[in-house]
Amino acid sequence: MAAPFDLERHDTDILIIGTGGAGLFAALHAQQAAPQGTKITIAVKGLIGKCGCTRMVQGGYNVALGGGDSVERHFMDTIVGGKWLPNQDMAWRLCEQAVVRIRELENEIGCFFDRNPDGTLHQKAFAGQTADRTVHKGDLTGIEIISRLMEQVLARPVEKLQEHRAVGLIPSKDGSSLAGVLFIDMRTGALRLVRAKTVLMATGGGPTMYKYHTPSGDKTMDGLAMALRAGLPLRDMEMVQFHPTGLLAGEDTRMTGTVLEEGLRGAGGQLLNSYGHRFMFDYDAKGERATRDVVSRGIYAEMRKNNTSKNGGVYISMAHLGPENVRQKFKGMVKRCADSGFDLAAGQVEVVPTAHYFMGGIVVDTDTHTEMEGLYVAGEDAGGAHGSNRLGGNGVANSTVYGGIAGDVMGRDIRKMARLRDPDEAVLQTEIERVVYPFTKSPGNIQELRNELQNTMWDNVGVMRTAAGMTRAARRILEIRSELMNVGVAGGSRAFNLTWHDWLNVSSLCDISEVITKAGLERENSRGAHYREDFPESGSLEGSYFTLARKRDEELQMSREQVQFTIVQPGHSILSTEEPATLVRAAE
């Protein structure tokens, strides 16, 4: 029996969980908006500026800056790309505020983006868009953004809880609001309850329950798992985006799954099968510049035909664009490929669809409020802005736009909150018992269970899906969960006990994998990232619905809710008649 866990208690005013683009922007905006003397705390599973998904962004930041582009065009691309499932008010605010935020990134945060000879921001082509609107810093845009945000936050009087893993949302005594968050201090293994008047969940997504995935292995959907246990509604949970071109370097390296960004195909990169055939035009008239879901399915189809590369994927070729040109434009990816034995500039690189981004998330409004008073959500944890498919370049824009909004709103709302809330001690005790449970069981092979989950999800709830496959997956996920409950962690030091955290990782992944699977069964049509081979039609656009998942009394309940076309109806466009007719036709 493990030694008892003591609980430390800590108070703050504004608590921000996560230090990606959403979390760091929220901290800066909250400090400006909140009353003087407000205590702001940021907590992160790793180290500030050194973890999270914003840092991994290669491609860039979508923003309409004129030159034939407009907020309206950006909005229509987002709606059409999301197959009419986005929350239109959220999508509009994203596109509109991106213009404000990119100037803030440059002029206040200090980001340096690539420019044209005339001094204007350079914007490159990304798939699924009708304008070249992606602002970037070479192919290392995320590092530029997160590094400058980190410098700004570290220079301010913000309390920093680094290497603190959030493990539970603790409601108030009456259950009407959020009292605080339970953490593990990973450095010591201690449990810490942090009470706060307002809490932002910006933990990011990270669909690492798939065999091929882009995020680091410590990204395990903890935020959504906490929200699920707290009874909050989750929408669009079947919508897992597979990036078409994840590096495929073999089974024995973590480099496999790493993204080779959208700009390669936007610049003219070609996808080839084992026979050297440029196959994407067999599947879509836009070829390699089709949206991510379409290209992923094209690659997956070639894989099922065994038209594959050495490691079982396909090839991307850039050599026809000129090796020196490729080396200059895509320095980061050329080096990354070279480290894995590939010559991106002059040869061919093996790629495979890789689980990349999660369009689903917690139901929020355009001010980041949830139905639980005191809890706000921004970034990849929030559902609604992207619908069934996220356009490349909209991810980091979404995080920074809504992170800033969350900071402003929390700073404003806290003025109405006189005191901290007392936690529901029964829920707190239940969450503590869940967290320390692994110490009551004998050690076992946790990694084997994670591998089994990844294979199950890739084979049955991946790029292409059927009812039979998802039913099989749902059954196997429950079996893996049961097996996990019989596997424990050795006693001894709890400080940086990575086996303990591996157990918690698999637990979160099992929770969210079940929701993904059951949401996939609930959607009996094909939209964006969700493709049902047994229901290949998209269904009526006018009758579009999104799925809702909620846990009540330990039972996962699924339902549907109609999409509200608050700005534009299917078959129509908000663009003027002077705009290209191709986009209007795409909206039909």
**513-561 per-position pLDDT tens digit:** 999 999 999 999 999 999 999 999 999 999 999 999 999 988 999 999 9
The arithmetic mean of pLDDT across residues 93-113, rounded, is 97
Pairing of strands 40-43, 14-17: parallel
Tell me whether residue 219 is exposed, middle or buried, using C-beta atoms within 10 angstroms of its C-beta: 0 to 12, 13 to 18, 19 or more: buried
The arithmetic mean of pLDDT across residues 474-479, rounded, is 98
Does residue 358 surpass a pLDDT of 50? yes
> For 240, what's the count of Cα atoms within 13 Å in the CB-facing half-sphere?
30
Q: What is the mean pLDDT of the chain?
A: 94
pLDDT tens string 188-237:
999 999 999 999 999 998 899 999 999 888 899 999 999 999 999 999 99
The arithmetic mean of pLDDT across residues 554-582, rounded, is 84
How far is Cα 247 from Cα 256, in angstroms, rounded to an integer? 5
- The fraction of the chain above a pLDDT of 90, given in percent, is 86
How far is Cα 583 from Cα 588, in angstroms, rounded to an integer? 9
Residue in this structure with the two tokens 């868009």, named with its chain if needed: 129
- Token readout for 406 is 């969350």
Amino acid at 547: T
Fold of the domain built from segment(s) 241-354: Flavocytochrome C3; Chain A, domain 1 (3.90.700)
Whether 356 is a known active-site residue: answer: no
Residues 200 and 402 sit within 8 Å (Cβ to Cβ) = no
How far is Cα 263 from Cα 291, in angstroms, rounded to an integer? 13
pLDDT band for position 55 (cuts 50, 70, 90)? confident
Length of the chain: 588
| Candidates 133, 148, 165, 243; catalytic one | 243
Residues 1 and 125 sit within 8 Å (Cβ to Cβ) = no
pLDDT band for position 579 (cuts 50, 70, 90)? very low
Where exactly are the structural domains of the chain? 241-354
Residues 191 and 8 sit within 8 Å (Cβ to Cβ) = yes
| Candidates 74, 235, 265, 523; catalytic one | 265
Does residue 584 surpass a pLDDT of 50? no
How far is Cα 136 from Cα 123, in angstroms, rounded to an integer? 7
Report CA torsion sign: 63, 46, 360, 472.
positive
How far is Cα 295 from Cα 352, in angstroms, rounded to an integer? 11
pLDDT band for position 576 (cuts 50, 70, 90)? low
The arithmetic mean of pLDDT across residues 98-110, rounded, is 97
Does residue 254 surpass a pLDDT of 90? no
Whether 29 is a known active-site residue: answer: no
How far is Cα 26 from Cα 182, in angstroms, rounded to an integer? 20
